[in-house]
């Protein structure tokens, strides 16, 4: 190839790449590759959105290719968008570190990061599900990091179990004392004992487990941590401290023995709604929904929110909930954010975003192969 040919080859190539990266999306196509401003599939799994200065910031697990792909080899990624369709890669907000003495070392597990903004302290606060390197999912910790700028860098504070030695608001000392312990799942009346708090009692001194989690900030700026606890059998909802950096002693058990993962909360017309899933690892299962007049309960189960074929209902459109986005400037417009996991090549995981509709007070989801925000005006 002559110099002239090489020159034209590079000009053409950069022309194609520039055009590619500047592609403007005007719709959502759930399950498709979704390219960022650099032309790369968005890498923010198990994510959540923080709206700040009329901009959406999407935080999520930065996955990698290959067998280590679900481990935190990089950290938590962050993207920004003003229209929800087109996303700019803002880099790594919280970095997994090389220091093998740090709990945040590469190879630990960082899942479902969620970020909220504290108006009093003017700090951005990230919480995430954290598992320690080479310990599988045994540690069951929740982690906290904080930053002065929304895109980071976030400074890691700590990871811990929740509420050691503290009883929930809806669980009396009398009930606690009556709890019968269990050895394992073969135990007679296992389920009944779990509902009554056998796993709760096991962890009472060391602190309650915290796996799949989310955060919710109410209209009065009170924030809550919602998590799959008690060996994933029971959800715990905890009120955060005013600075959002720790939990208060105010917490409740929700759906004891209900086996919920992947909680996502939103508020409409003064009611609190929750999407969640069952427990099947990376495989999808039927979605669940619930409603409450107050986030601290009582919660009422509303069943599977999915409307569609048997397969769609059984798999939540082959996805698992992670967050619900309130759309800026549109009243009562909420987007279900789900993950279509691809554990063999985690970086390829897809995003299932669907409009949340309502049948009376029940939130429902219907499959859309392509849709845009006008859907909310027309439906």
Q: Which residues bind ligand DGJ (CB under 6 A)?
A: 46, 111-112, 212, 261-262, 281-282, 320
- Is the C-alpha dihedral spanning 363, 77, 73, 160 positive or negative? negative
Nearest CB to ligand DGJ, comparing residues 222 and 342 = 342
Least gap, CB of 111 to ligand DGJ (angstroms): 5
Q: How far apart are CA 242 and CA 221, in angstroms?
A: 9
* Residue 111 vs 230, nearer CB to ligand DGJ: 111
CB of residue 185 to ligand DGJ, shortest distance in Å: 18
Q: In this structure, how many other beta carbons lie within 10 angstroms of the beta carbon of residue 67?
A: 11
Of 36 and 339, which has the nearer Cβ to ligand DGJ? 339
Q: For residues 131 and 153, what is the distance between their CA atoms, to the nearest angstrom? A: 21
What is the enclosing helix (H) or strand (E) of 117? strand 109-118
The answer to whether 214 and 222 have CB atoms below 8 angstroms apart is: no
* Residues β-bridged to residue 109: 131
Nearer to ligand DGJ, 281 or 329 (CB): 281
Name the residue nearer to ligand DGJ (CB basis): 106 or 129: 129
Q: Token pair for residue 296?
A: 């601290």
Q: How far is the CB of 112 from ligand DGJ (least distance, A)?
A: 6
What span, in angstroms and rounded, lies between the C-alpha atoms of 185 and 279? 15
Structure tokens that stand for 151 in this block = 């895109």
CB of 91 to ligand DGJ, least distance (A): 23
Cβ proximity to ligand DGJ, 51 vs 138, nearer residue: 138
What are the two backbone dihedrals, phi and then psi, of residue 311, each rounded to the nearest 5 degrees? -65, -40
- 95 vs 112, which CB is nearer to ligand DGJ? 112
CB 363 within 8 A of CB 356: yes
Q: How far is the CB of 335 from ligand DGJ (least distance, A)?
A: 19
Beta bridge partners of 125: 116, 146
Spacing of C-alpha 7 from chain mean position = 47
The C-alpha atoms of residue 204 and residue 304 are separated, in whole angstroms, by 32
**Alpha carbons 20 and 40: distance in angstroms, whole number:** 10
Instruction: Report, in Å, the least distance between residue 80 CB and ligand DGJ.
Output: 24
Q: Which is nearer to ligand DGJ, 61 or 90 (CB)?
A: 61
Minimal distance in Å, beta carbon 89 to ligand DGJ?
Answer: 22
- Contact between 336 and 262 under an 8 Å Cβ cutoff? The reply is no
Residue in the shown chain whose Cβ atom is closest to ligand DGJ: 281
Smallest separation (angstroms) from ligand DGJ to the CB of 341: 7
Q: Residue 65 contacts by C-beta under 8 Å, 6 or more apart in sequence? A: 345, 346, 347
């Amino acid at each position: 190839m002559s110099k002239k040919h090489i020159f034209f080859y590079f000009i053409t190539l950069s022309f194609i790449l520039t055009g590619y990266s500047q592609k403007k999306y005007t719709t959502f196509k759930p399950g498709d590759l979704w390219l960022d401003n650099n032309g790369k599939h968005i890498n923010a799994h198990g994510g959540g959105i923080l709206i700040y200065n009329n901009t959406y910031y999407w935080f999520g697990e930065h996955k990698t290719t290959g067998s280590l792909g679900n481990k935190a080899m990089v950290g938590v990624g962050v993207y920004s968008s003003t229209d929800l369709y087109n996303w700019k890669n803002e880099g790594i907000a919280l970095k997994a570190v090389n220091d093998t003495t740090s709990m945040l070392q590469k190879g630990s597990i960082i899942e479902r990061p969620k970020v909220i903004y504290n108006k009093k302290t003017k700090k951005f606060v990230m919480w995430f599900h954290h598992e320690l390197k080479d310990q599988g999912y045994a540690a069951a910790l929740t982690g906290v990091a904080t930053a002065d700028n929304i895109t980071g860098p976030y400074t890691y504070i700590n990871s811990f179990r929740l509420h050691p030695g503290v009883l929930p608001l809806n669980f009396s000392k009398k009930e606690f004392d009556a709890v019968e312990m269990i050895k394992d799942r073969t135990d007679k009346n296992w389920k009944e004992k779990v509902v009554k708090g056998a796993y709760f009692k096991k962890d009472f001194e060391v602190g309650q487990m915290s796996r799949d989690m989310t955060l919710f900030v109410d209209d009065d700026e009170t924030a809550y941590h919602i998590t799959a606890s008690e060996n994933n059998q029971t959800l715990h909802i905890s009120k955060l401290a005013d600075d959002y950096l720790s939990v208060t002693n105010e917490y409740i058990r929700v759906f004891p023995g209900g086996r919920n993962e992947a909680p996502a909360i939103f508020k409409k017309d003064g009611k609190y709604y929750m999407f969640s899933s069952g427990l099947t690892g990376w495989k999808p299962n039927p979605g669940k929904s619930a409603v409450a007049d107050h986030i601290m309960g009582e919660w009422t189960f509303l069943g599977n929110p999915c409307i569609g074929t048997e397969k769609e209902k059984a798999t939540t459109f082959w996805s698992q909930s992670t967050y619900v986005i309130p759309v800026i400037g549109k009243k009562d417009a909420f987007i279900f954010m789900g993950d279509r996991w691809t554990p063999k090549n985690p970086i390829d995981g897809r995003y299932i975003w669907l409009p949340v509709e309502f049948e009376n007070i029940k939130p429902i989801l219907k499959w859309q192969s392509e849709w845009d925000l006008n859907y909310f005006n027309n439906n």
